[in-house]
Amino acid sequence: MMAAFGRFLFLGKPMKHKLELFYYDACPYCQLVLRVIDNLNIKVDYKNILKDEDNLDRLVNDTGRRTVPCLYIDNKPMFESADIARWLEQNQNNLEKN
């Protein structure tokens, strides 16, 4: 039987999170988050809101905001670059690597 306890399964394997980053290249706050992702070698699905209108539509429909960066963690949005960077650093051992 496998049961979740905190962030780990009883079998000792870390739980993986689905990560999607909504961003655009010229945003300095997005660049901060992108650097953290790159430095930690974390696997993320990138959603550029300027290159694909569907990404912007989803962000606005889900959150009512156009604010980036926005990191979806298991389909739950998180805003604020400092909060995102902190969460990534604190959870890096539980995140899938590239």
3-state secondary structure 21-53: EEECCCCHHHHHHHHHHHHHCECCEEEECCCCH
Residue 16's pLDDT is 80
In the structure, what pLDDT confidence band is assigned to residue 13 with cuts at 50, 70 and 90? low
Q: Is the pLDDT of residue 8 over 60?
A: no
Q: Which two tokens stand for residue 66?
A: 């156009």
The answer, yes or no, to whether residue 36 has pLDDT greater than 70, is yes
Q: Which residue has the higher pLDDT, 80 or 13?
A: 80
CATH architecture designation of domain 23-94: 3-Layer(aba) Sandwich (3.40)
| Cα–Cα dist 25/56, whole Å | 14
Tens-digit pLDDT profile for residues 59-83: 999 999 999 999 999 999 999 999 9
Q: List the beta bridge partners of residue 76.
A: 73
Decide if pLDDT at 44 tops 50: yes
The predicted structure's pLDDT at residue 12: 53
Domain layout of the chain by residue ranges: 23-94
Contacts with 18 (C-beta within 8 Å, 6 or more apart), sequence order:
45, 72, 73, 74, 75
The model carries a pTM of 0.84
